[in-house]
């Protein structure tokens, strides 16, 4: 109760003015109205033809033969591991700057995540450190395209070939990104995406596996057909949460919407996966499950708007790159990534967040090497001190939102006003 009161008091000085958060940034009023009608009419959420349409369109965008949907990105990863036959006693090499649900999905199969440090500038896995982590138990490598910037897939492929290891692409942040002119998702044997409410496209929660391998696709499809949809109660809760979150996170309402959202979350009225700290699959319910046709319908609409969505993110990034120069990229290079967020390191993150809090709720990500877990890292196989670059990045990273609800003009105004201050506070690599 004291914690809740403190959270609310902190929000009070944000009097009515447009503020920008990181969630629900890509959804349209039409999608909201469609979801509202679906909720009122109790529309079926198991319409296979809509799900097939969404999968077909997704595969087409990724330039692959097969797309198979699941209830979340983490579940998509879990079924990939299962389809690859990875389990008890095996090891999967992942970057030490990821979301805790990645490590959890590996643990749920009985395998072990092995963490490799990251590059200071790109926040992607440091490929030069992968081979030292390979053992006879290693069964897969992991190409995570953090914040939508493709990692060094060439180097991973080389290592994979030499050690006969498959590579799983984690494209959770990277729908629409390219690498050497090829769509992310088509670069290795198998990839997965997330469409939760903080990602490039938003179906509230959602995941998709893509692959060109027919036999693997068949195994994945078999798994998909054998698992249930969410139960009716969870589904109603999910749709209701989509409707509420959309309103609460509107920039003009955020100042009060955030307070309402915290209260509703506290009262346990919103849909949330509660698996962040669960290391055993038997403690998690409805995992894995299928993606509903209601989400697939929103997903289709989101895919139809993907070019506009990415163009906006890239425009914002172009401006931020000009002013902040974290990545030092030219326009062509900028246009290859999705820029889920524009991320860089600063000396004092608290001060930075405070400076911008009147305009942005920066929702900093990932603030530990496995975002979503703050302590007890040994439980998920991470030993503090073992990946110093990732730990340093997690302490100093900040990210600006880039989604469609953040106007370029606001970014320009804020960055220009605080330009010198940012310059003094940035940590150059």
Q: Which residues bind ligand PLP (CB under 6 A)?
A: 72-74, 98-99, 101-102, 144, 170, 172-173, 194, 196, 205, 207
Alpha-carbon Rg for the chain, nearest whole angstrom, is 21
Q: Which pair of structure tokens corresponds to residue 300?
A: 């289709």
H/E segment holding residue 191: strand 190-194
CB of 81 to ligand PLP, least distance (A): 13
Please state the closest distance from residue 76 (CB atom) to ligand PLP, in A: 8
CA gap 400, 145 in Å, rounded: 18
Cis status of the peptide bond prior to 52, with omega within 30 of 0: no
Report in angstroms how near the CB of residue 366 gets to ligand PLP at its nearest: 8
Residue 205 CB, nearest approach to ligand PLP (Å): 6
Q: Compare residues 367 and 412 and give the one whose CB is closer to ligand PLP.
A: 367
Name the residue with the smallest CB distance to ligand PLP: 73
Q: How far apart are CA 359 and CA 245, in angstroms?
A: 19
Nearer to ligand PLP, 199 or 349 (CB): 199
Please, which residue, 338 or 415, has the CB nearer to ligand PLP? 338
Sign of the Cα torsion 381, 383, 387, 392 reads positive
What is the rounded CA–CA span in Å between residue 248 and residue 374? 27
* Cα separation, 397 vs 366, whole angstroms: 8
Give the integer Cα–Cα distance in Å for 64 and 236. Answer: 33
Assigned token pair, 401: 């939102």
d(CA 43, CA 176) in angstroms, rounded, equals: 30
Residues 6+ apart with CB under 8 A from 317: 334, 337, 339, 342, 402
Query: Which tokens sit at 249?
Result: 């996170």
Quote the least distance from Cβ 207 to ligand PLP, whole Å: 5
CB 190 within 8 A of CB 216: yes
Least Å distance, CB 106 to ligand PLP, is: 11
Shortest Å, Cβ 144 to ligand PLP: 5
Nearer to ligand PLP, 255 or 339 (CB): 339
């Amino acid at each position: 109760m004291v914690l809740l009161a403190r959270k609310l008091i902190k929000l009070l000085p944000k009097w009515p003015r447009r503020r920008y958060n990181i969630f629900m940034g890509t959804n349209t009023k039409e999608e909201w109205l469609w979801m509202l009608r679906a909720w009122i009419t109790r529309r079926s959420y198991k319409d296979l033809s809509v799900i097939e349409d969404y999968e077909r369109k997704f595969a087409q965008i990724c330039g692959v033969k097969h797309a198979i949907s699941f209830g979340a990105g983490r579940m998509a990863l879990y079924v990939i591991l299962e389809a690859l036959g990875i389990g008890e006693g095996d090891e999967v090499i992942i970057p030490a700057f990821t979301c805790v649900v990645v490590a959890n999905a590996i643990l749920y199969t009985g395998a072990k995540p092995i963490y490799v440090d990251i590059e200071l500038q790109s926040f992607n896995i440091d490929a030069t450190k992968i081979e030292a982590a390979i053992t006879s138990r290693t069964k897969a490598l992991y190409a995570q395209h953090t914040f939508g910037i493709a990692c060094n897939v060439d180097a991973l492929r080389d290592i994979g070939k030499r050690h006969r290891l498959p590579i799983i692409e984690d494209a959770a942040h990277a729908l629409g990104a390219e690498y050497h002119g090829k769509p992310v998702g088509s670069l290795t044997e198998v990839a997965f995406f997330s469409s939760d409410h903080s990602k490039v496209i938003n179906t509230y929660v959602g995941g998709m596996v893509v692959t060109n391998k027919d036999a693997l696709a068949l195994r994945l499809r078999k798994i998909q057909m054998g698992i249930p949809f969410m139960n009716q109660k969870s589904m109603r809760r999910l749709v209701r949460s989509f409707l509420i979150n959309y309103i609460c996170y509107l920039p003009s309402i955020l100042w009060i919407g955030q307070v309402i959202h915290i209260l509703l979350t506290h009262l346990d009225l919103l849909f949330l996966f509660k698996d962040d700290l669960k290391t055993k699959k038997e403690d998690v319910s409805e995992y894995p499950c299928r993606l509903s046709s209601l989400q697939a319908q929103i997903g289709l609409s989101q895919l139809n708007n993907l070019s506009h969505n990415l163009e906006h993110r890239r425009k914002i990034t172009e401006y931020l790159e000009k002013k902040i120069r974290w990545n030092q990229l030219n326009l062509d290079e900028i246009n290859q990534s999705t820029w889920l967020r524009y991320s860089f390191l600063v000396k004092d993150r608290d001060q930075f967040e405070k400076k911008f809090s009147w305009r942005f709720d920066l929702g900093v990500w990932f603030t530990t090497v496995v975002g979503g877990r703050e302590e007890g890292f040994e439980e998920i196989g991470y030993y503090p001190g073992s990946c110093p670059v990732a730990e340093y990045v997690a302490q100093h990273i900040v990210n600006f939102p880039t989604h469609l609800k953040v106007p370029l003009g606001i970014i320009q105004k804020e960055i220009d006003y605080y330009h010198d201050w940012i310059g003094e506070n940035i940590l150059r690599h």
